[in-house]
Amino acid sequence: MKSLILALVCLQLSDALMHRVPLTKGKSARDTLREQGLLDDFLREHYSDPCAKFDGLTGVASLSSTEPMINFLDLSYYGTISIGNPPQSFTVIFDTGSSNLWVPSVYCSDAPCSNHTRFHPSSSSTYRSNNERVAIQYGTGSMTGILGYDTLRVSDITIRGQELGLSLTEPGGFFNQAKFDGILGMGYQSLSAEGATTVLHNMISQQVISEPLFSVYLTRVDGESGSEIIFGGVDPSHYQGSINWVPVTHQAYWQIEIQRVTVNGQVVACSEGCPAIIDTGTSLLVGPTNAITNIQQAVGATPGSYGQVPFTCTHLSMPDVVFTINGYDFTLPAYCLRTQGSCMSGFGDTGSNLWILGDVFIGEYYSIFDRGNNRVGLAKAV
């Protein structure tokens, strides 16, 4: 009976998990296996032939889970999680530029907390606190809070005892205007404030995903559906051509090395190489001030009021900006943000030497974050 059930569900699981094909109505194959007491055996013994042929990435059939994300003005992408028992739902940014999970809490009376969903620890039967404080500073905001543990659910994944921050303060105005409640960091453990255990670490250690990686697909038309993050898998329908793998050079952010940046065949930045991070939590493509100024001038953008950089935004007038990374040329043909009929440059400057390849870049290149091999895969998004 065991071998028959496993054989029948193999194709069904592979198609559904890797290509988002709906399972037949009623119970999922995973639920059927769990009810029969066979799910653990399936995960342990059958991620090889005959299912291996369905995964073109590693040759191992993957247990993956997909979380859709809302595209807000091409500026932020957020999905839904739940915490506690019974579950309390929140919207979060899945942020590769940080490593902590936190949400607003009832302990916080700041305006950003009052304007968003707040976690009620006393309403969860599984919450416990270690009374440790945490403080996190982002480029556009900050929070202070306490650390606790509770059950986390992301899509159909359940993580037991996930460490999370509950905000006590959220100073400044950024989070007050944000459409999302909190942040779920997807960076390396070494980047985590107070050493809090990351969600990705627990996904791997609790074996709720079979591949230690996740992938991100971002649409670039405001309001367009289809943006998603896949935990433990890759969707070939989201890219064309081959995946170009780039080694992570420093395991904190998802940091890589840019060899050079060119416009019309001329090097405009990074002539001797420069560090960069792939960051889903940053809207723009950000770099050192002098380098970004060179790019803006090369593409015909001039600074305007409030730091905005308007320019004529048509594919006919926009020269490609090419990033050479690990020997591959990644062309950026569209790098503007269209809002209310106007167009602003998708490039921004920062005071540091670290480049941030944010959503403007990720929208062009399907991004795979491979923790098992410490590399990032980039492929032309479709």
From 307, 179, 328, select the one nearest 242 (Cα to Cα). 328
Of the residues 74, 150, 181, 279, only one is catalytic, namely 279
CA–CA gap between residue 354 and residue 257 (Å, rounded):
10
- Retrieve residue 170's tokens: 């959220």
Cα–Cα distance measured from residue 72 to residue 57, given in angstroms and rounded to the nearest whole number = 31
User: What residue has token string 């790019």?
Assistant: 295
HSE-CB at 63 with a 13 A cutoff on CA atoms is 22
Per the annotation, the verdict on 279 as an active-site residue is yes
Give Cα separations from 283 to 78, 93, 275, 362 (angstroms). 12, 12, 18, 10
What would you measure as the largest C-alpha separation in the chain, in angstroms? 70
CA nearest neighbour of 209 among 74, 4, 372, 84:
372
CB atoms within 10 A of CB 56: 10
Q: How far is CA 327 from CA 114, 124, 322, in A?
A: 49, 51, 12
Q: How far apart are CA 90 and CA 78, in angstroms?
A: 10
Report how many helices (DSSP H) and strands (DSSP E) the chain contains, helices first: 8, 25
Indicate the SS3 state at residue 188.
coil
Distance CA 174, CA 139 (A): 10
Q: How far is CA 239 from the centre of its chain?
A: 16
55 assigned to active site? no
- Of the candidates 95, 181, 359, 370, the residue annotated as catalytic is 95
What is the per-residue DSSP string for 209-228?
SSSSEEEEE---STT-S--E
Please answer whether residues 207 and 62 qualify as being in contact, where contact means their C-beta atoms are separated by less than 8 angstroms.
no
> What is the C-alpha separation between 366 and 243, in angstroms, rounded?
9
Q: How far apart are CA 43 and CA 237, in angstroms?
A: 25
Cβ(168)–Cβ(105) below 8 Å: yes
Q: Which residues are catalytic?
A: 95, 279
